[in-house]
Amino acid sequence: MAGQIKQPIDRSDTNAPAPKPLNVNFREYDTGAATAQAALAAEIALAITYNGLSQAVMMVSPGNLEDFIRGFSVSNDIVQDQSEIYDLRLTHFDQAVQADVQISNRAFWALKNHRRQMAGTSGCGLCGVEALEQALPKLQVLEPVDLPPAHHFIGIRERIEQAQQMARSSGALHAALYFDADGNALICREDIGRHNALDKLIGAMQHAGIDTRLGFTVVTSRCSLELIHKAVRARLGTLVSLSAPTALTVQWAIRHRLNLIHVPHRNAPRIYSPA
């Protein structure tokens, strides 16, 4: 790793939560305004290699990196499940982390045979996709599950706000949350990237041995097609979005039997899948 990357920094807890937001000086657009401070979300560069093969470099929030890498590996079809991840080592630098992941021979050969250049980003869209087959992949159709009870969505935006501890102090963060079969928010993961937040949650759920077919998963961001890809690959039962999905997203959710629900600001929840 080049540029301003210096010697590695010793970190004993490789899956630690994100540090507190950074205080940054600012002043309002007024020549007489005094300097003040704002708490802003942190981000770092994360480079991931599989069996020594460089796969992706992206900007992420620095917390829960093990969860993110495990979730990223599953939702991007690099491994089929966590049993194919043999080792995961993180090397921390000042503003970056190098992740060295050892995966099974089967997964590594599949990765090399179907490898595409992935330009990591915290923005929108499918990055580095070189063929339509990769942008619109063939996915396994899920076994359908029951929709969550309607009362589980009462006051859900307020409950999500309470769970988003990092965003309350800094803003600029997406969240993905897992609600159990009783409607309780058990896990919340936050990141500057909406894909990253969902990957972190998937990694945390699988690492904890949670049955992803039960309960439901909520994303606070726009529900784009690539989030459907991730949800189906991770075998989620129900995906809930606080922002309206696209027509194509709905089509893919219906086709793959993924429950898809939108919770608008002022209206009742809308079920888009099943049709």
Mind telling me the catalytic residues?
A: 124
Q: Output the CA angle 89-90-95, nearest 5 degrees.
A: 170
Residues 114, 116, 121, 127, CA torsion sign? negative
How many whole angstroms separate alpha carbon 172 and alpha carbon 189?
14
What residues contact 245, with CB distance under 8 A and at least 6 apart?
223, 253, 260, 262, 272
Helices 194-207, 225-233: axis angle to 10 degrees equals: 10
> Contact 234/72 with Cβ under 8 angstroms?
no
Neighbours of 233 (CB within 10 A): 18
DSSP state of 155: T
DSSP 133-179: HHHS---PPPPP-PPPPGGGGTTHHHHHHHH-HHHHHH---EEEEEE
